[in-house]
Amino acid sequence: MPDITIIFDRLRWEEKELFEKGKELGLDINMLDVKSEPKELTNLNRDPQIADIVLQRTISHYRGLYYAAILENYGHTVINSFITSLLCGNKLLTTLLLAKNGIPTPKTYAAFSMESALKVIDKLGYPVVLKPIVGSWGRMIAKINDKEQAESILETREMLTDPQQQIYYIQEYVKRPPRDIRGIVVNGHVIAAIYRYQPEDDWRTNIARGGKAEQIKIDGELEDLMIKASNVVNAKLVGVDAMETENGYVIHELNNNLEFHGAFQATGIDIAREIMSYVKELVKN
Amino acid sequence: MPLKAKCKECGADIEIPDDALPGEIVSCPDCGLEYEIVSISAGKVELKLAEDIGEDWGE
């Protein structure tokens, strides 16, 4: 049996790096494309082709989520776990957990009809941010500047067939510098942190949208917040996003499906090696 | 000599990097069509059309 199995559906730069760095560390790794491996749900034995420790690296949130559920039920340890992926992948659940654990986070509401969403938006004042509860790479995140925009965006959302698009996650627009901060937290340690500067033609900072990364040495306060945030979802490998506000830091997102090419280029920190070193510890135990 | 495959769309040669692995994406240099590497062995590479970006992809 291999030491570790990396499950994937599209081999990105990150997965190749993890594979290479794992090999350098002496790990026997097998790569499993979940697209080509159906799994039985009614016979819950360990799969001898799959290592006890599984690193979940699918680009698709749902594939990774459900494959984690299956392998955990077979008895494998999956990083990140099903529950961590579920909680991080859903902004509504993430926000609830951050708030419950006293971690500062932007003021946010959930509304369950277009009419009540408009009321919440009016109450929060413009601009305001509307996000899909499950979404990635900043897609369909809208900064709404006035009531006309609010109505047209909500009307469009009402027309979409995915029922989750009619659950409105509405967040105050946080006054911040033109950047946010991404911390990469591996097993409770912030191993790298970057500013993510928004591109000139966008207010979003996602690297996938052209955001520019720059290394930062974070202070102890932010480090503590990031570690605490990763702990509330029991994440072993997570990108924690923070913003600088007049009243201190807020944590606004936890990314279980971590991409780290931009952070590697900006910092030179060998993030893949750090991750695989942590995984190697698990194999030993 | 690097491995090559023919683009099904435009017929151009697609070079496969030496360190390529199954699951990786390669693009046709002429028409830009993306392919996923299905397998590489004994000097042969098998490609299939890459999936379109999914709504739930990425971080």
Establish whether the linkage from the previous residue to A2 is cis, with ω within 30° of 0: no
> For A5-27, how does the pLDDT look when each residue is reduced to its tens digit (9 = 90+)?
999 999 999 999 999 999 999 99
3-state DSSP assignment of residue B33: coil
Closest-CA distance of chain B to residue A90, Å: 11
Q: Does B34 touch chain A if contact means CB atoms closer than 8 Å? A: no
pLDDT for residue A169: 98
pLDDT for residue B41: 87
pLDDT for residue B43: 84
Query: A112 — alpha (psi -120 to 50), left (phi > 0) or beta?
Result: alpha
pLDDT for residue A208: 87
Query: Is the model's pLDDT at A86 over the cut of 80?
Result: yes
Mean pLDDT of chain A: 96
pLDDT for residue A266: 97
Domain range list for chain A: 4-86+277-284, 108-172, 176-270
- What is the arithmetic mean of pLDDT over A75-85? 98
Q: What percentage of chain A reaches a pLDDT higher than 90?
A: 96
Q: Does B58 touch chain A if contact means CB atoms closer than 8 Å? A: yes
Residues of B (13-32) whose Cβ lies below 8 Å from A: 19, 21-25
With vertex at residue A162, the alpha carbon angle to CA A259 and CA A255, rounded to the nearest 5 degrees, is: 20
Give the CATH number of domain A4-86+277-284: 3.40.50.20
Instruction: Decide if A208 and B36 are in contact by the 8 Å CB cutoff.
Output: no
Residue A249 · residue A243 · CB < 8 Å: yes
Sorted by where each starts, the structural domains of chain B and their CATH numbers stand as 3-49 (2.20.28.160)
> For B1-56, how does the pLDDT look when each residue is reduced to its tens digit (9 = 90+)?
789 999 999 999 999 999 999 999 999 999 999 999 999 988 899 999 999 999 89
> For A214-253, how does the pLDDT look when each residue is reduced to its tens digit (9 = 90+)?
999 999 999 999 999 999 999 999 999 999 999 999 999 9
Query: Is the model's pLDDT at A285 over the cut of 70?
Result: no
CA distance B36 to B24: 6
- What is the arithmetic mean of pLDDT over A65-82? 98
Residue A108 · residue A171 · CB < 8 Å: yes
Which CATH superfamily does the domain covering A108-172 fall into?
ATP-grasp fold, A domain (3.30.1490.20)
Q: Which has the closest alpha carbon to A177: A265, A258, A244?
A: A244
| Domain A176-270 top-level CATH class | alpha beta
CA distance A222 to A227: 9
Residue A191 · residue A184 · CB < 8 Å: yes
- What is the arithmetic mean of pLDDT over A59-87? 98
Query: Is the model's pLDDT at A284 over the cut of 80?
Result: no
Query: Is the model's pLDDT at A2 over the cut of 80?
Result: yes
- What is the arithmetic mean of pLDDT over A78-82? 98
CA distance A39 to A135: 26
ipTM of the complex as predicted: 0.89
- What is the arithmetic mean of pLDDT over A199-218? 93
CA distance A124 to A111: 13
Instruction: Decide if A136 and B23 are in contact by the 8 Å CB cutoff.
Output: no
Instruction: Decide if B57 and A208 are in contact by the 8 Å CB cutoff.
Output: no
- What is the arithmetic mean of pLDDT over A144-154? 97
Q: Hey, how many other C-beta atoms are within 10 angstroms of the C-beta on A125?
A: 9
